[in-house]
Structure formats: C-alpha cells, structure tokens
Amino acid sequence: MSLIETRVGFGFGIGFGLGLAVPLVVLAGACGGASATSQPREAIVLGGPPPFEVVSRTQWPTEGWPVVEPEEVGMDPAAVDRLAAYVFARSGDDVDRKGQRTNALVIVKDGKLVFERYARGYGPDSSLLTWSVSKSIAGTLVGRAVMEGKLDVNDPVARHYPPVDREGVREIRIVDLLQMSSGLDWNETYETSPVFSSVMAMLYTRGRADMAAFVASHELAHPPGTHWSYSSGDTNLMMGALRGAVGEEAWPDYPWTALFDELGMRSAVWERDGAGTIVGSSYLYASARDLAKWAFLYLSDGVWDGKRLLPEGWVAFTLTMAPAYYDTELTPGTLDDNPGAQVYLNHGDPKRGVDKPWPEAPDDTFAAQGHWGKVIFVIPSLDMIAVRLGDDRQYTCNRPDASDGCEPDEDKAYSKHHFLELLMATVPR
Amino acid sequence: MKLPKLSKLPKLLVLLGKLLGVVLVLVAMFVAWNWSQLSAFPELPSSYEAKELCSCLFVEGRDQQHCEGFIRQDVVPIDERSYDMEGKAVSVRALWVETRAHYVSPRAGCVID
C-alpha cells in the first residue's frame, strides 16, 4: 500500500490505478461466474388443456373484428363510459409528459369488439410501439416453431445457437429463456441507470449489431433454471435460437408466415438488429385491434378457425408460473410480476404470503405488458380482452416499486389497478 | 499570535496529496472496472434518439413535432438532429457522436446503421 500511496503522491494515479485494476477485473471475471449444475433437469412435457374453459367459436376476426354494442354482450354501457373517461382523461400536456397518455383502448368480449377509442393522433390502423408486449408474441413464435417440429422447449439453446456452446452457459435450455431463468448476469434497468443497463447497451450501443451474440457473451450469475430475473436479454437470445431453428431462408418472413398471416395481423412491423435477428424483446409495432387477435388465439387454446397453430398444451405451459420464481428472492420491483412463459400471470405466491398482483381481476387473468403503460389483459373467465397502449412517463404510487416522482392521485396517472377495477365494473356479476 | 510551524506545512500537503492519490486510484479503478459500459455510453443518446425518431416517423407515421416530444430525454443535450424525409433516415449528434438510423422496409421498420 505504501508503494501505491507514494507513487500517486507523485501524480501517477491514473496510470497506476489502471494497471492495478485491469488484473483485478480479469481475476473477478475468472471467479465471478457461477458454476452450472450438471444434473439433468426435468423435461417439460407439453399437453393438457389450458386452465380455463375454452369457448367454441363460430366467428374469427382474421378479416376484422365483428363490432357490437356493449349491451349486446351483457356489458354495462355506463360503466364502459366511466372506464373510457378514466383512460382518456389527460392531466398534463405533451411537453410535461405527465398524467395519463393513452394512445389506444380496445375491448373485446365474447369474440366481438365492444369498444375502441384512440387519442394523441393514433387510429385503428396505426402500428403502435409495444415495447415488451413484443415478448409475449415472441413466445408465440417459439410455440409455432415447436408446432412445426423445428424446436423443442427442452433443447439446449446451443443446439440452435452455437455461440452459447461453452462451459456452463451451454446448460441453458429454450424453456429457461421462455421463463426468463437463464441465470445470465443481466441488468434490466432503463432510464434510471442508462450507463449500466444491459438493455440499453443491447438495444442501442454494444449489442445493437447482434443482440443474441451480446446476450450470449454474458456469464452466468446463477445456474440455469434456478433463478428468475426479468430479462430482455433472455428473449433476444431466444430469438437467436429461433432463427437457427427456423433456418435462414424462412427467417426474414417467419413471424408473418407462422403467425401474422394466419391471424390477419396486417399492421405488424417487427424491427431487427444489425444482424437481421428480430428484436423479440422490444420492437413489435402493431395496432390495438391486431394485438387483441393474439390474445384471442390464446383464449382459443392455440386453435384458429379450425387450424391448430400452437401445440396442445402450449397455452397451459405459457400460463404456468416459471418454477424458478418461487426460489427467487422477491424485491419491490419483482413483487408485482408473476412470470409465466413470456407472459404475466395473476397467481401470487401464497406460500410466501405474496398476494395476487391484480386483486381486482379474476385469478385466470394474464397479460402481455410493456414499458410506458402498454398492456394486453386477457380474462378467460369473462371471455374478455382489453388492449391499452399508452406512453406514460409517470406512474401512480400504487406500484410496489413506485419512486419519488410517482403520482399519488390515480385519477391523474394511469393505474392498472384502477383500470382493472373499472374494467370489472363493466361486467355485472 | 503564533504562526503554524513551517515544518508542519509540507507534512499536511503530503497527507492531502496522498488522500487525493487514493481518490484518484479509486476513480481510475472504477473507470477501468466499468470501461466497457462507460466507453459505450457516449453513443447511447444519439443512437436511442436516431432509432426511436426513425420508427416514430416512418413506422408509426407520426410528424416530427410529435416524435421529438416522444424521444425527448432531459439528461443529455442533443447537438443536432437531421432528417432525410425522402430517404427515410434520421441522424442525431450528441456527446460528439453521430448516429444514423434508416427505414428498411414495411415489415422490418428501422435499424441503426
């Protein structure tokens, strides 16, 4: 130590500091990675019905949703008006970006469109940014590839994406990525810590040329399948594996040939990284009406107009909690998340005294959720879908991870709890 | 009135120098340790804005005023934004880094160059 002090005293601080720190980094890198479990893990066997009653359909919205008045499907029109008044109330302007900033709201009940409204310059045909809602549709693409026999959820990722074929990391399976349990060392923060955010680096700087490769370059923080951690990286590594499984020829149009064309999702735009891999985590753009079609496929257990698009048991698997979640320490930020396979569930964790994240909604509610107030709520027991796309930069204080700038008055900023409360009031029970 | 002993001054300076040195070492270690993140940071504001402006204009089909309100971040000042509306591309310069994003196709939207 005396040597260091003496030398910096003479002004060699930076040079010497670097010289000291670099070997330390190397040392930390060598010791930092968790050793992976080599025990074989239980294989997922797909099968069985979804955890809700599947309604048999006579009409399919491929060419467009049939439109009815709320009363025709037993909804209370006055309650629908109250919901709309809440969702479209603005308390700030576009400069301060405060308050509720809803772009679109679409409600489907019994397979019919009962309400839609748009604001802030968007319309029924607009392709809107969905951020992480994309992940749920990315999960569906994997389901399509499983259906087509191109991939198995138990496959090691390395089988389809060779860059992960290295010590430890090669233990990651497709199911681990679907359930965000890869164990990769990943920092999922956004605006709050832009320098150290793995997501920002992936999307905009070090990872943008090839996002799957960027994710694959991370070391394990936990053995695969043992620790749940919300990760956009896991989704994009999954896209790398999907690309490998699907093959280069089919890849550029795969989301369309496999899914969007079948459902009639004509508004879909899905951006790619510099290597041409679809950015499954963040960059699907679609209309609210088309996003409701994705939900309708799940309500129909993966069958669309007589054709099975998703394997039997895929919807049930998607709506099963990621097992690693139960072994993962809860933090204020993750209390609100009940992860299925690239979707959110409403189960809670009774063993640890954790309530359902959406107590206002039925237990079978599930959702695709994205940053800045984007959501597709699906409520099978009510045969209901609600797509709300917003651009909220300020959240209400009823989130467990609410920060100092949160809005205490839920009338002044979007609250998913209040939204669900008002949505439930539209269906007299 | 007593003046501090002259012989004590250099010792104080040496101590201060040592303290400064320790701080510098810590800062340097922090920089070295996090070099890959820190060195990538300067291109973040320009690439974020270029990509999201491009998508807002050419995928969502919104106008420039709306899109600038959408991408605005109040952390890093932006030096210049330039729009090529015919070629469907946007360039942004911030923190001495210029990044361009361009529209690829109706299905693939925008990508950073």
Is residue B23 very low, low, confident or very high in pLDDT (cuts 50, 70, 90)? very high
Q: Which residues lie closer than 8 Å to A241 by C-beta, 6 or more apart?
A: A151, A155, A157, A159, A160, A161, A174, A177, A212
- The reply to whether residue B61 touches residue A126, judged by beta carbons under 8 angstroms, is yes
Q: Work out the minimum CA distance from B53 to partner chain A, whole angstroms.
A: 12
- Under DSSP, the state recorded for B57 is H
Q: Work out the minimum CA distance from A330 to partner chain B, whole angstroms.
A: 27
> With helix as H, strand as E and coil as C, how does chain A read?
CHHHHHHHHCCCHHHHHHHHHHHHHHHHHHHHCCCCCCCCCCCCCCCCCCCCCCCCCCCCHHHCCCECCHHHHCCCHHHHHHHHHHHCCCCCCCCCCCCCCEEEEEEEECCEEEEEEECCCCCCCCCEECCCHHHHHHHHHHHHHHHCCCCCCCCEHHHHCHHHCCCCHHHCEHHHHHCCCCCECCCCCCCCCCCCCHHHHHHHCCCCCCHHHHHHCCCECCCCCCCCCCCHHHHHHHHHHHHHHHCCCCHHHHHHHHHHHHHCCCCCEECECCCCCECCCCCEEECHHHHHHHHHHHHCCCEECCEECCCCCHHHHHCCCCHHHHHCCCCCCCCCCCECCCCECCCCEHHHCECCCCCCCCCCCEEEEECCCEEEEEEHHHCEEEEEEECCCCCECCCCCCCCCCECCCCCCCCHHHHHHHHHHCCCC
How high is the mean pLDDT of chain B?
91
Model pTM?
0.88
* From A17, A120, A271, residue closest to B55, measured CB to CB: A271
Is residue A39 very low, low, confident or very high in pLDDT (cuts 50, 70, 90)? low
Is residue B2 very low, low, confident or very high in pLDDT (cuts 50, 70, 90)? low
What is the distance between the alpha carbons of residues A247 and A394, in angstroms, rounded to a whole number?
42
| pLDDT (tens digit per residue) in A306-347 | 999 999 999 999 999 999 999 999 887 778 889 999 999 999
Residue of A95, A205, A210, A277 to mutate, testing the B interface (most B Cβ within 10 Å of its Cβ): A205
Q: For residue B32, what pLDDT is reported?
A: 85
Q: For residue A82, what pLDDT is reported?
A: 96
* From B22, B44, B51, residue closest to A194, measured CB to CB: B44
Size of interface A-B (CB pairs under 8 A): 129
User: Predicted ipTM?
Assistant: 0.87
From chain B, the residues in CB contact with A206 under 8 A are 36, 40
Domains and CATH numbers, chain A: 1-27 (no CATH), 50-126+287-429 (3.40.710)
- The reply to whether residue B43 touches residue A283, judged by beta carbons under 8 angstroms, is no
| pLDDT (tens digit per residue) in A239-279 | 999 999 999 999 999 999 999 999 999 999 999 999 999 99
| pLDDT (tens digit per residue) in B60-78 | 999 999 999 999 988 899 9
Residue A288 has pLDDT above 50, yes or no: yes
Token duo for residue A122: 């968007």
Closest residue in chain B to residue A125, using alpha carbons only: B60
How high is the mean pLDDT of chain A?
89
